[in-house]
Chain A
Amino acid sequence: GAGVSQTPSNKVTEKGKYVELRCDPISGHTALYWYRQSLGQGPEFLIYFQGTGAADDSGLPNDRFFAVRPEGSVSTLKIQRTERGDSAVYLCASSLGNSGEQYFGPGTRLTVT
């Protein structure tokens, strides 16, 4: 079946602009995660949803970052007033929850110029 998908695959934006990154999890997966991977680093946790609610948003770096999952399926990561330091690959993963295996998407490469 289809895996986790993310759109767009690449996004170039100017400093100060607003961006939205989309994640489509595997059908039936109740848990959804966002990670950010900077060059030369491992993925860093941002936020985790169980169903529609954010169960853990402790990894969001500041209030410019926000994520939603209104119907418990697709999720959108929103970044306001982008900064050059936000440039990274944003990864989404989903799982059946309860410590199930996390399946990763291909990522969105965000470049802020």
Chain B
Amino acid sequence: AQRVTQPEKLLSVFKGAPVELKCNYSYSGSPELFWYVQYSRQRLQLLLRHISRESIKGFTADLNKGETSFHLKKPFAQEEDSAMYYCALTQGGSEKLVFGKGTKLTVNP
């Protein structure tokens, strides 16, 4: 069965430092990978998806099929990046999202 693993429950960095939120997946096919973000008292929203290859709010994520990873990176973290981040995938032909347990990122001043 498909699975998404986010090994860090909590991650704390200082403003201006690089940040990397890890995501590994297990799926035998060709999944589509996503990062969703939930800011305090806001609803869950899409941050980026691997097929679009966009950089959103300075974040990027590269799909590494060899390592089955989709880590989220930002070179210089900002305080407003503090939020809950969820990695997710959809399997080929299915619309349902499979989420990891999430990583709470705190960016300290």
> Which A residues are closer than 8 A to B by beta carbons?
3-4, 31, 33, 35, 40-45, 48, 50, 55-56, 58-59, 91, 95, 97, 99, 101-107
Stretch at the interface among B14-22, B58-66, B74-82, B98-106: B98-106
B44 touches A43 (CB 8 A): yes
What total of chain B residues lie within 8 Å of the partner, measured CB to CB? Answer: 19
B49 contacts across to A, CB distance below 8 A: 101
> Which single member of B43, B95, B99 contacts A107 (CB below 8 Å)?
B43
Q: Is B46 close to A, CB under 8 A? A: yes
Instruction: Tell me the smallest distance from the CB of A40 to a CB of chain B, in Å.
Output: 7
| B43 x A106 contact (CB < 8 A) | yes
What CA separation (Å) do A107 and B42 show in the bound complex? 10
In addition to A4-B43, A107-B43, 6 A-B residue pairs with Cβ atoms within 8 Å of each other are: A48-B95, A91-B44, A99-B32, A101-B49, A104-B45, A106-B43
Given the interface contacts A48-B95, A99-B90, does A42 sit within 8 Å of B100 by beta carbon? yes
Residues on B with C-beta less than 8 A from A48 are: 95-96
Q: In the complex the two chains form, what is the Cα distance from A103 to B88 in whole Å?
A: 14
Picked from B43, B44, B46, B101, the residue with its CB within 8 Å of the CB of A40 is B101
- In the complex, are the beta carbons of A45 and B96 less than 8 A apart? yes
Contacts of A101 in B (CB 8 A): 46, 49
